[in-house]
């Protein structure tokens, strides 16, 4: 996951893009076939201008083979967005810690 985030950051994918992606993924239909199609649609219509995120979505889309994969994948993208947001917040929050304790 950290490698994926690193790749996305290098591809200039912002937190807002990740949040939007996670929220959009939540709307995916439960069936594997529909979800795989849905992910490709999301990649093409919403993130075509972001090659790194576009490529990541398409890579995962081909791996959705069973209905059980769908919630796992949705959760993965939610965690990507969360980990990214929280990691950035850790840096900001660290500035609030008393200097003597750092």
| Residue 69 binding other proteins, by CB under 8 A | yes
By CB under 8 A, is residue 73 in contact with other proteins?
yes
Query: Rule CB under 8 A: is residue 21 a binding residue for other proteins?
Result: no
Q: Are 42 and 23 in contact (CB under 8 A)?
A: no
Candidates 83, 66, 64; CA nearest to 25 is 64
**Residue 14 to residues 11, 29, 66, 70, 81: CA-CA distances in angstroms?**
9, 26, 30, 24, 10
Does residue number 50 form part of the binding site for other proteins (CB under 8 A)? no
Q: What is the dihedral of CA 60, 63, 69, 72, to 10 degrees?
A: -30
Q: How many residues bind other proteins (CB under 8 A)?
A: 41
Using rule CB under 8 A, residue 33 touches other proteins: no
- Closer to other proteins at the Cβ: 49 or 90? 90
CA 29 from centre of chain: 17
Residues that bind other proteins in the complex, under the rule CB under 8 A: 1-3, 15-16, 19, 22-23, 55, 59-60, 62-66, 68-69, 72-73, 75-76, 78-79, 81-83, 85-94, 96-97, 101-102
């Amino acid at each position: 996951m950290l490698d994926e985030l690193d790749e996305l950051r290098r591809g200039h994918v912002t937190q807002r893009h990740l949040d939007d992606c996670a929220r959009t993924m939540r709307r995916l239909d439960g069936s594997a076939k529909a979800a795989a199609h849905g992910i490709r649609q999301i990649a093409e219509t919403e993130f075509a201008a972001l090659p790194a995120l576009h490529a990541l979505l398409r890579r995962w889309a081909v791996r959705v083979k069973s209905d059980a994969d769908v919630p796992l994948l949705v959760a993965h993208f939610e965690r990507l967005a969360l980990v990214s947001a929280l990691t950035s917040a850790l840096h900001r929050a660290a500035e609030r810690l008393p200097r003597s304790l750092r």
